[in-house]
Structure 1
Amino acid sequence: MEYRGRSIVSPLRLRNYSAFDYEEYKRIYEECFRDMRTALQRFPVDCCDSKEELEHKKDKIYILEIDGKLVGSVAIYDNEIDDLIVGKSYQRAGYGEALLQFAISHMQSNNISPIVLHVADWNQGAIKMYIKNGFAIVKTEET
């Protein structure tokens, strides 16, 4: 998908990932992707990067905390939004959309274009949110 929406200024102030976040980040990441990976028969089902791998990416991973609790995260790799995750107990409360808008705003403020993301057709809820927020389907792939 490619962003075709308006200019966005996000009020969110996120911090970068740190090794301290690993256990909770891993739990939320795997919780978010487990059902999809199971349905699509992608193995291993639990596939969060190692602590060391995430440490190398820490400047590209942004953490949303509320009252000291890790609520969600989004990664920005070059011009791609990736690994947008929100803990199950915080889903359907606007945090995913806020993380998406943060990523778009961050990329726009750094003149990064085009802004893209990949999403499995299985994840219709995410697709609807992305379209609602200015993304268009520009390519489909079979894997």
Structure 2
Amino acid sequence: MKLVAQVKLLPTPEQAAALAATLSLCNAAANEVSVVAFAQGVFARQKLQKLVYADLKARGLSAQPALHVIRKVADAYTTLHAQIEAGLLGGEHSPRRRKAESKPIGFRVDAAQPFDDRCLSWQMDARTISIWTTQGRGPGRRLHR
């Protein structure tokens, strides 16, 4: 059974800056991975991982966030290709479809980045969470219900 809880982070200004820098780096990396995927026509996670994983690690991403970036890009292309195949972007000569097919998928600087239990940990008694950032795992971020 999964338990779902909505929480609100109450980071210090330094913690907020670290989280923002982490989102920015992850999404910039996703944009670069998207360019590689588009240019080489490689959209499968494993093949894409072989192409870009070392570069992501060199940029400062830890292993799990690097894999999440690759997965995010691969999933975005899977969704795009499914939309095209289903005809949701119009026919073969539709301007909307041609626009979608003519350039790499882009990610906003502040777009969501998935985290899992390898990137964060919960301290329920202390009501804090430790989150991986580009500046390392910071001290616990205070939670609010």
TM-score band (shorter)?
under 0.3
The structure that is strand-richer by fraction is 1
**TM-score normalised by the chain length of structure 2:** 0.23
**TM-score normalised by the chain length of structure 1:** 0.23
The structure that is helix-richer by fraction is 2
